[in-house]
Chain A
C-alpha cells in the first residue's frame, strides 16, 4: 500500500542529494503534497511523470546546494591534512613504517602472484567468437569420483544429428604423434584427428589456408606456424606434401606405446597461428578425421565409430544454437546417456556432463585431461595459504597501530577538541592505512619481479605454461586489492583510536599504562603457531625429499645413458653404438623402470585354481639385467635367442605366486590372462624399484620378457669419463644410424633424480611460505618490542640509576615476549605433529617423523624470536640512564 503511493524513489534521492539542505524539507513537502493530489486526480503514471519533471526543473542554481562551503570544503581540506599528517607519521616513525610496509608488501606479492596466475588462466580460450555457447562433454562413471574429460567416439555424431538444440559439435581424437617428413627433414609433432566442424565451433586463427575446407578431404593436415617454420623454413607450406610416420606419441607430452607405422602422405591445408592465442587445446598438428576410415582398413588405428563403451577415447565439444541454454543441453545429455547405456550392465549410471568453455581453465579436476593445468582446487588451497599470510601481515599492522595508540592520543585529543567528529577520525586512520597499503603495493611490485622468475622456473611449469603477463586489468585488480587490504587492516585501530575521550587522553596521557595487550598477545601467538607449523612441515618435506633422493633403487643407474630409438631398428642401433669408444655394453627395453611408466599383465601358475595376480611387465633383452647390475638370484638370465616364451620374475613375484624359495619357481609354466601361450620362468631377479618412490613402498611383482618389436630404448653403460665428450661421440655414432632425428638421450641417474622434481617444487613453495610466515611474525614482534622499549625508557633509566644490571633489564623487557614464544611452541608443536602425521601416514617410503623434526622447528622459531626481542632488549638495557632521564 505504502510503496504504491510513493513518488519515484530514485528521483527523490537525486533531489535530496542536490538540494540545498536549508530548502530541502519544505520543498520536498510541497512536492509530496502535489504528488499526492495528482495521484488522486490523474493516476500514478502521470503523477510520477509530473513529479520527475518538477524535480528536474528544480535542478537550477539557487536551489542546488553550493559545491563549496557547507561540508565539502572542509572534507577536501581535511583529506589533504590527513595525507600530510600520514606522510609525516610514516617518516617520523621509520621503524614502524618499515615493519608495516615491508610485511604487507611481502604478503601482497604472494597474493599478487596468485592473482596473476588466475588472470593467466582466465585469459585462456577467450578468442573463440562463440565461447559462451561452447561446451565440453565430460563422462563420469558411477564408480569414479571425478569426471573424465574424454567421451565416447559416436557422441558428437549423435548429438549433432539427434538434438536440434545444437548448432554443431566437433571432436578431437588423440592418436597422431610422430614424425612429419619433408625433403629429408623431419619434425616431431603431436596432435589430434579433427573433423570438419572444428572451425565451426572454435575460432583458431589460420595464418594460411581456408577454414571451410582445410579439414574436409582425407589426408589433409593443419600444422602450427611454429612447426611450419621448423619444417619448411622459408617455403610456403600450403599445398606441400609431407610423409607422416606415427610413433604413437601421446598428446600429453608422454611417450607413445606403439612402434613406428607409416601413415602415408598428407597435404598441408592450413597453418594455425599458434602465437596468437592461448587455449587449453594444445597441438602441433591436426589431421582431418576423414582420414580415419583409410587407417581403419589398414589396421593402423582401431575403429571405434560405434563404440559407446570406450568412454576415454575422444574429446567432444558442442556448440549450442543461440536459442538454447545449458539446461537444454543437460537434459539432452541425460536423455542420451540413458538411452545409450541402458543395455551395458557395467556402464549403467554413466552420466554425460556439460562443462562450458570458460569453466575449463581454471576448472575442476578431471581425469584424462586434454592438456595439463592446475585444477581449481589447487587455486583454492594456494589462495587460502596466501590469505593466511596476508591476514598475518594485516594483523601486524592492526597490532602495531593499536599498541601505538598512546603515541597518537594527544593528536586525537587535539583534533577532537577543535571539532573533529568520531567519523572524521575514522576517515583519518583509514586513509592512513590505505596510504601505507599502497606504498606496500609499490614495494610488492618490485618484490614480485624476483618471485615471478623463480615461480616460472619451477619444474611443473613446463607442463603448465604459466606466462603471468601483466595487463591493465591485473593492475586494476592489484589496486582494488591494496585498497581492501588497507581498509581491512585499518578498521580496528581506526574505530578503537577514535573512541578516546579528548579530555582524558590529554590530561592523563602520561599516567596511563599500556593496556594489557590481550588481543595483541593472542594474535601474535597465533602467528607463531602458524609459523611453527609451516617450519616443521617444510623440514619434514625436505627430509622426505632427501629420503627419496637417497633411496636405493636396487639397480646401478650410474654411468648409464638411455637413448630413444625413435623408430629405428634396435639391432642396427646397438651394432653401431657398441663400436663407439667408451661404450661398455648396450641393452634394450621398452620403457625405463622407475620413471613413471609401466605396463601390466595378470599372471598365475598354469593350471592353478588361484586368481590371476597383477604384475608389471617390462620388455627387455638378455643384456638388460647385466647392464643395470640386477642380480639373478636363481635360475639363469634370458636367452640371447630372443625367445619370448621365457621370462624373468622378481623375488616378490615369486613369493606372490606361491614360492617362498625363489629357486622353486624355476621351470614353472605361467598362464597370462588373455593369452593362450604359456610362459616359462627361467630365472628370478633380486627385487629392484621400478616405480617412482612416491608411488609405492613395497616392491610389486614384476616380469621381464623379451619382445624385440617392443624395444624403444637402448640402455648404454659407459666408462666413467667426461659426459659432454661422451655425448658428442654418441652423437657422431647416431648420425650414422639416423639422419632425420637428432639424438635423444638422458642419463639414467638424472632421470631418476627428476622423479623428485615435483617434490622440489612443493618443498620450495611450503618452505617459502614458512619463511614468509616467520618473517612476518618476527616483524610483528620486533615492532611490539621496539614500542614497549620506547614506552619504558624512563622506567629503565630509573631502574638503572637504582642499580639494576643490564641483564636484569633485558630479561624484564623480554619477559612477556618470551611467554608468547613459549606458549606458541607448546601449542604449535603438538599441532604440527598431529596434522603432519595425517598426510605422512598415507605416504609410501616415508621418513620417521620423530620429535626431532619438531624440536628443530621449535629451535629455529625460538632462536629467531629471541634474536628479534634480544636486539631491542639489549639495546635498551645498555642505554645510558642519563640520556633517558634527561628526556623530560
Chain B
C-alpha cells in the first residue's frame, strides 16, 4: 500500500538532486536532508528493527538513530544528518546489518 506523505512537499528552490530510493527515482531540492526528502516522498517506514518493527525519522537532529538507511551500500547512515546528493542510491535498512561476506549476522 502506498502511504501518502505526512508533510507538504518542499517548495521549489531551484537546484535539485535526483536519487534512487528502493528502485524509484526521487527528485528533491539540493541542500535538504535525506530524511526530509524521504519524508516528503512517503510517510511509510524507512527502516525495520531486528524485531521487525517499522520506524522512520523521529527527532531530525541526530539523537534517535531511527532514520538509519543504506546509502551507496553503506548501512547505518543517519538520513537526518546526510544531505541529498545527485545519483545517490538509497535503500531501507532491514533488520540488523550483516557483516561483509556473512550470510547471517
Q: Do A and B bind each other?
A: no
Binding site for A on B (CB under 8 A): none
Binding site for B on A (CB under 8 A): none
